[in-house]
Amino acid sequence: MSRSRARIRLAAAAGLALSLVLTGCLQDPNPRGGGGSGGDFVAQGGTTDGDKVVTIFGAFGGDEAVGFRDSLVEFTNRTGIAVEYNNSTDFTTLIKARVRSGDTPDIAIYPQPGGLAEQAAERQIQPIDTFLDYDTINSTLIPGFLDAARINGRVYGAPMRMAVKSIVWYPESYEATGLPTEFKSVQEMQQVAAQIKDGGTTPWCVGFESGAATGWPGTDWIEELVLRMWGPDVYDQWTKHKIPFNDERIVAAFEEMEKLLLTDGMSFGGRKGILATAFGNAMDPAFQTPPSCYWMRQGNFVSGMFPKDIQANLDTAVGTTVFPPYEGGFAGQPILGGGDIAALFNGDDPDAIEVMKFLTSDQFGAEWAKKGGWLSPHRTFDQSNYPDETTRRIAEMASNADVFRYDGSDLMPNAVGGGTFWSGMVDFTSGQKSAQDVADAIENSWPES
């Protein structure tokens, strides 16, 4: 271990225990009693108040929109409140335009927290502590989820759907090897990976290709490692740029990824193969006979990209395990993921408030869950609603987590999180630039505040 790595480990160790104690235990910093629209201001957007019609604008369409609407039928029958949902794939641009023109919906559902933070800073969105019981909802959510919508100590949105990224997938054939399917640490995985490699099979199935977005799957690897090696406090400082992108701890996470994936024989196809393989096809070689690789780290959504015969027999064709903690790092099991966050633009409308209460509760989503492709962010959601054992296992992984953190690149300015971070992962994976060089370049690209 280098002196710098040793030094930053010692510096981090002192804060690990305190970090774990605090994570998931934060109470509402601005309690308002819940249930009313009081507080220091009321968001004045939205449509007509009290007319039993609530408008919602979001990004998801197709089958997801069908599942969403089906999950509101019983609510409408019970309350008499009709919900009109409209969507656009250009949600991020259009919601900004609608805010500027004064044509906001009653509720918006954000696929990423950045836009919500922008509108909250402009006092367009109602803080949730003015109409939800903050401590109650926080107690049922996976710990840390509300932090994605926390701006200057106050929370302006609550999740209504979850994505889980910290999943390691493996084919049925891996179980026949007799090697472990659960791991206590990243280091233990590395030891098992060495055994797989010595046996003549590549451990990791990896693909970073995604058209114009090539490189984004690599950002998830860095985020997983920063969260595990240094904990949620450092992770938050990094994504908010309270420490520079080229902080030595972040550089250390790049170096750890290189050790895991980019050394000879660790990833199928090597560096070139990673960049040439579409992320949705990365695991295809694992389903060959004999398999060419075994493990893939990717989100729950990727199961819909597996070959049709695998999807038809998902519970028997694949297994899943959680991406483990890092020995000597954060003293707990973190989960990296994402989610759709509901925000209230109309703080005067009792109907919109009732819809928000339902959307963000553990009672929402049973109908959507049964159709597949939807996960509740609540630990207390009835998991029998999920259509298969694989989905239930993934939901249980998240429920057992000590802390949840939102995808870091989605929290960063788009010029970085959807730009130089992506391209930096390409440069790093290809070997064109070192960890330090990539981190320096991304730091230099960070927009001035």
Say yes or no: 102 and 151 in one domain: yes
Amino acid at 343: A
Say yes or no: 171 and 312 in one domain: yes
Say yes or no: 177 and 70 in one domain: no
Say yes or no: 265 and 368 in one domain: no
Is residue 26 domain-resident?
no
290 preceded by cis ω (within 30°)? yes
Integer Cα distance of 127 and 119 in angstroms: 11
Is residue 9 domain-resident?
no
In DSSP terms, 344 is beta-bridged to 107
What range does the domain containing 433 cover? 167-333+409-445
Query: What pLDDT is attached to residue 333?
Result: 97
- Residue 376, SS3 per DSSP: coil
Say yes or no: 150 and 216 in one domain: no
Which residue positions in the chain have pLDDT lower than 70?
1-40
Q: Residue 366: which residues within 8 A CB-CB, separation 6 or more?
A: 71, 382, 385
Q: CA nearest 404: which of 165, 189, 109?
A: 165
**CATH code (residue 351):** 3.40.190.10
Count of domains for the chain: 2
Which is it for strands 202-204 and 167-171: parallel, antiparallel or unpaired?
A: unpaired
Torsion of CA 151, 155, 157, 158, to 10 degrees: 130
Q: What angle do CA 4, 228, 381 make, to 5 degrees?
A: 165
Q: CA nearest 85: which of 104, 107, 101?
A: 107
Roughly what angle, to the nearest 10 degrees, separates helices 435-445 and 421-430? Answer: 160
Say yes or no: 144 and 171 in one domain: no
Integer Cα distance of 68 and 72 in angstroms: 7
Say yes or no: 72 and 155 in one domain: yes
- Residue 443, SS3 per DSSP: helix
The pair of three-digit structure tokens given for residue 316, joined into one six-digit string:
């028997």
What does residue 386 show for φ and ψ, rounded to 5 degrees? -75, 145
Is residue 24 domain-resident?
no
Is residue 150 domain-resident?
yes
Is residue 268 domain-resident?
yes
**Last-in-domain residue among 373, 388, 403:** 403
Say yes or no: 348 and 432 in one domain: no
Integer Cα distance of 186 and 255 in angstroms: 14
Say yes or no: 185 and 282 in one domain: yes
Q: What angle do CA 76, 362, 330 make, to 5 degrees?
A: 150
Say yes or no: 189 and 136 in one domain: no
Helix, strand, coil shares of the chain, percent, nearest 5, are 50, 15, 35
pTM, entire model: 0.89
Query: How many distinct helices (H) and strands (E) make up the chain?
Result: 20, 12
Say yes or no: 381 and 434 in one domain: no
Question: For residue 245, how many other CB atoms are within 10 A of its CB?
Answer: 23
Integer Cα distance of 116 and 128 in angstroms: 13
Please report the sign of the dihedral spanned by the C-alpha atoms of residue 131, residue 135, residue 140, residue 144.
Answer: positive
Is residue 307 domain-resident?
yes
Is residue 151 domain-resident?
yes
- Residue 159, SS3 per DSSP: strand
What does residue 341 show for φ and ψ, rounded to 5 degrees? -110, 120
Is residue 4 domain-resident?
no
Say yes or no: 181 and 236 in one domain: yes
Query: What pLDDT is attached to residue 1?
Result: 39
Query: What pLDDT is attached to residue 40?
Result: 66
